[in-house]
Structure 1
Amino acid sequence: MKEKIILAYSGGLDTTAIIPWLKENYDYEVICCCVDVGQGNELDGLEERAKLSGASKLYIEHVTDEFVDDFVMPCVQASAVYENKYLLGTSMARPVIAKKLVDIARAEGASAVCHGATGKGNDQVRFELTIKALAPDLRIIAPWRCLDTWNMQSREDEIEYCKAHGIDLPFDASHSYSRDRNLWHISHEGLELENPANAPDYNHLLVLSVSPEKAPDEGEVISLSFEKGVPVSINGKAMKASDIITELNVLGGKNGIGIVDIVENRVVGMKSRGVYETPGGTILMEAHNQLEELILDRDTLAYKKLVANKFADLVYEGKWYTPLRKALQAFIESTQEFVTGEVMVKLYKGNIIKQGSISPYSLYNESIASFTTGELYNHHDAEGFINLFGLPLKVRAMMMAEKEK
C-alpha cells in the first residue's frame, strides 16, 4: 500500500505540475487539499483538474469564517501592520491553511505534506513552521527546493512537463502577475513591479479596487460599530465579521481605498516589491484605531503600539503557533475589553476621513479638554507639574552653566 501525501493545492500551474512530479519521484498517493479562505471563483473546476492530473482525491475545506474570526480579528484587535504598511493578508492565511493540511493528513493517515512555495519566499517558512508546531512527525516536501529532481524553472517548463505526462490543461505560457487572494486582500508581484523604479500599471493590475483618480467625485460616509474590538455592524446593520469585510471590500474598492505599494523585507533576507489591495481591511483597521484613540489610556495605547509591531512580525514570520504570539494576544484581548462604540468615516478618492466616533467608554471629557476652565481642571495646577516634570532639565542646565565658569 502506497504512502499518502497531502498537497496544498490551488489549482494553478505550479501545484498541478507537482502532482505527477510527486508520483514519479516519490511514488506517493497524492491527495490534494484546497483551503477556501475567500478566494472566490479560483475554486471553480478544481476537482476535475486535480483528478485529471493524477490525484486520488481532492478536499475543499471552506474555512473563511474560521480564518476571519480566529486569525484576522486578532490582528485587527492588535492593530498589527508589518513595516507600517502591509496588513498581513497572505501572512494571516498561511497558518489556517497549514492547520487544515495537518488535519487532512491525520484523517487520511498520510506521512507527508507538500507545498508549492518557492525557496525565495516567505510562504515556505509560514507553512513549515505551522506544520512543525502541530505535527512534528510529518515529512515536508517542497519541490522548488529539490534541485536534483525539480528541473522546471518556468511556466513553459511546467506546461511541457504536464503534456509529457498526458495532462492537457487550459494554461498558457503568457506572463502575468504572481497573485495571492483571500477575503482580506489580494497581492501582486512580478512584471513591472520587479523594478522599484517603475510605476505600477494600475490599469492592468488592480482587481478589487479602482485607482483614486477613477473613484467617484463624491465621498461616501459609512458607520462601523465594534464590540470589544470586533466589528459587529455596518451602517446599523448587524453582520458577522466576514460579511462586514465583504461589504467593506466593495465600498472601499470603488473609492480607491487600501492600495499599498511597498518594498518589504522578507523573512529569508531579501527585499521584494509588491502591491497589495486591502480595501475593506484598511477601513476596518482605521476605524478600530480611531475608536481606540477615544478609549485607551495613554500608557496602554503607547505600549500596545510596541506589542502591535512585535505581533505583526510574528505573524509575518509564520510564528502563529508560538507561546509568544499566544501571550501577546492575551494582552491584546485585555486591552479590548472596553473597545466598544461606533465610528463614522468618509471614503473619498483613496482617503479615509474622520466623521466622528462615540463610545460609552470614551475617556474624552469635554469639560476637561475645553479651552474654557472646567471644574476638573485648574490651570494653576499646571505650574507645579511643569516644575517637577522639567526638574531634570533644569538641574542639568545649572550643572553645565557651573562647568562653563
Structure 2
Amino acid sequence: MSEIKKVVLAYSGGLDTSVILQWLKETYDCEVVTFTADLGQGEELEPARAKAEALGVKEIYIEDLREEFVRDFVFPMFRANAIYEGEYLLGTSIARPLIAKRQVEIARETGADAVSHGATGKGNDQVRFELGYYGLEPNIKVIAPWREWDLLSREKLLRYAESHGISIEGKKKGGSPYSMDANLLHISYEGGILEDPWAEAEESMWRWSVAPENAPDKPTYIELTYRGGDVVAIDGEEMTPAQVLAYLNKVAGANGIGRLDIVENRYVGMKSRGCYETPGGTVMLRAHRAIESITLDREEAHLKDELMPRYASIVYNGYWWSPERRAMQALIDETQRRVNGVVRLKLYKGNVVVVGRKSEKDSLFDANIATFEDDAGAYNQKDAEGFIRLNALRLKVGAKRG
C-alpha cells in the first residue's frame, strides 16, 4: 500500500465516492486527484468541487465531455446498430471507456501511479473500467475499494461518513430508492422494488419520458439527415453530435418513447433486472437502419447484422479498447461511407415509425426494377425460373432420400 503515492479517482461527489476518497487517503496514505466527467447526466457538477476541496483535495478535474462522448463513442456504436441481448442499447456500457481513458490521461498529467473507481464487486462496471485502464496503460495500478473494504452496506457507509465529517446532505432520506446512472444516451434504474422481476416499476420512477398513454394524441414528425452514418441535422438544422442526442431525448421522451424493462445477463455471471430510458437512442437506431436499408448492399447489410451481436457483447463486457473492437469498427465504418440521406419519422405514443427515407446520390433502390407495373424490360422475370431450379436442387435430392 505504501507504494501508492497518488491516485486518480472517478468522483461523482456522492456518498460512495466521497467515502472512497477519504478511505483512499487513510488506507494508502496517498494523495487523491478527483475526476468528474460531465457526460450529460443533467446534474450540477460544481458541488463535487466543493466537496472535494472540503476533503482536502488539491487537484480537481471537472470536465465537459459531452461532445466527445457522443462523437467518439455513441455514434460509432450506433453505426453498428449495436443492441445487447435484443433489447439493451448499452447506455451505461459505452460511457465507461471514455471515463477510463480520461482517468489514465490525468494520471499521466499529474504523475499519479494508480487509478480508482466506485464500482462494486458484483457488477459489470468494475470490469469495464479496469479493462479500459489496462488496455490504455498496462502498468497502471488499480484500486477497487468495494473489493477491499468491509463497508459493504449503506448503513456502514453512512456511519463512516458521519465519523469522518463527510457531508451527506440529501442522502439519508428523500432521495431516489433506486441506484441510478445517467448520461446523454440514457438513464438506468436498479435496486429497490426492481430486484423483484415480477414487480412493475412505479410510474414516478421515470425521469425522461411520459407514459405512452399520456403522450400527445397528435404525432410528431421529424427528419434526420445522415452523413457517413451519423446524424448531422434534424429538420434541416445542422447540429453537433451532443445537440442531436439532447434534442432527440427531449422530443422522443415527450412522445413516450424509450422506456425499457429487462433482465440481462451480466458478464460477471448473474442475471440483473434493470429499467432504462433511452429516448434519443431508440429513435436513432430505427432511423439508422432505415437509411441503411436503401444505401447498403444486401450482403454488406447482412454481414453487419451477423457481426452486431458480437460487437454489442464486446461493448457490454468492457472491451472497447480491444483489438477486435477496433478491427470491427474499421469494417463497420467502411460500410458507412455511402450511408447518406434523410429519414422521416413519426413519433406517436411510444412508437417510432419510419415513414420515408431518401438518398439522392447513394440510394440502391431502383423503382424501375422494383415496380409492380411494367418495368420496360429492366428485369426479365423468366430468369427467376433457372434461379429457383438451381437453388431447389439440393432440396429435391434430399427429399428423394425420404
Task: Tell me the TM-score normalised to structure 2 length.
Answer: 0.96
Q: Distance in 2 between matches of 1:276 and 1:106?
A: 35
Range that drifts further, 36-45 or 127-136: 36-45
Q: In structure 2, what is the equivalent of residue 256 of structure 1?
A: 256
Q: Deviations over 1:46-96 (max 9, x none)?
A: 111112233333111221111111111111111111111111111111000
Q: Among the aligned pairs, what percent are the same residue?
A: 49
Which of 109, 112, 115 is the equivalent residue of 2:111? 109
Matched, 1:153 2:152: yes
Alignment of 1:147-186 (within 5 A): 150-174=149-173, 176-186=177-187
Q: In structure 2, what is the equivalent of residue 403 of structure 1?
A: none
Contact persistence 1:373–1:379 (CA under 8 A): no
- The offset of 1:28, in angstroms, is 0.9
Local SS of the residue matching 2:62:
strand
Q: Distance in 2 between matches of 1:133 and 1:389?
A: 47
Q: In structure 1, what is the equivalent of residue 391 of structure 2?
A: 389
Q: Deviations over 1:280-303 (max 9, x none)?
A: 111111101111111112211111
Local SS of the residue matching 1:31:
strand
Contact persistence 1:20–1:54 (CA under 8 A): no
Contact persistence 1:265–1:271 (CA under 8 A): yes
Question: Which amino acid in structure 1 is aligned with residue 15 of structure 2?
Answer: L
Q: In structure 2, what is the equivalent of residue 311 of structure 1?
A: 311
- The offset of 1:151, in angstroms, is 2.2
Q: In structure 2, what is the equivalent of residue 79 of structure 1?
A: 81
- The offset of 1:42, in angstroms, is 4.2
Local SS of the residue matching 2:118:
coil
Unaligned stretches of 5+ in structure 2?
A: none
Q: In structure 2, what is the equivalent of residue 187 of structure 1?
A: 188
Q: In structure 1, what is the equivalent of residue 66 of structure 2?
A: 64
Question: Which amino acid in structure 2 is aligned with residue 176 of structure 1?
Answer: P
Unaligned stretches of 5+ in structure 1?
A: 401-405
Count of residues in correspondence between the two structures = 396
Q: In structure 2, what is the equivalent of residue 222 of structure 1?
A: 222
Contact persistence 1:155–1:173 (CA under 8 A): no
- The offset of 1:192, in angstroms, is 1.3
Which of 376, 379, 383 is the equivalent residue of 1:377? 379
- The offset of 1:228, in angstroms, is 1.0
What is the RMSD of the two structures over their aligned residues, measured on CA atoms?
Answer: 1.4
Local SS of the residue matching 1:243:
helix
Task: Tell me the TM-score normalised to structure 1 length.
Answer: 0.95
Q: Distance in 2 between matches of 1:162 and 1:50?
A: 14
Contact persistence 2:184–2:245 (CA under 8 A): yes
- The offset of 1:372, in angstroms, is 2.1
Q: In structure 1, what is the equivalent of residue 10 of structure 2?
A: 8
Q: In structure 2, what is the equivalent of residue 92 of structure 1?
A: 94
Q: In structure 2, what is the equivalent of residue 127 of structure 1?
A: 129
Local SS of the residue matching 1:41:
coil
Q: In structure 2, what is the equivalent of residue 353 of structure 1?
A: 353
Contact persistence 1:156–1:173 (CA under 8 A): no
Range that drifts further, 44-53 or 219-228: 44-53
Q: Distance in 2 between matches of 1:381 and 1:134?
A: 55
Q: Deviations over 1:122-154 (max 9, x none)?
A: 0000000010111122211111100xxx22222
Q: Distance in 2 between matches of 1:399 and 1:206?
A: 59
Local SS of the residue matching 1:113:
strand
Q: In structure 2, what is the equivalent of residue 211 of structure 1?
A: 211
Q: Deviations over 1:279-330 (max 9, x none)?
A: 0111111101111111112211111011111111111111011111010001
Q: In structure 2, what is the equivalent of residue 138 of structure 1?
A: 140
Q: Deviations over 1:306-359 (max 9, x none)?
A: 111111111111101111101000110111011000000000010011211001
Q: In structure 2, what is the equivalent of residue 49 of structure 1?
A: 51
Local SS of the residue matching 1:223:
strand
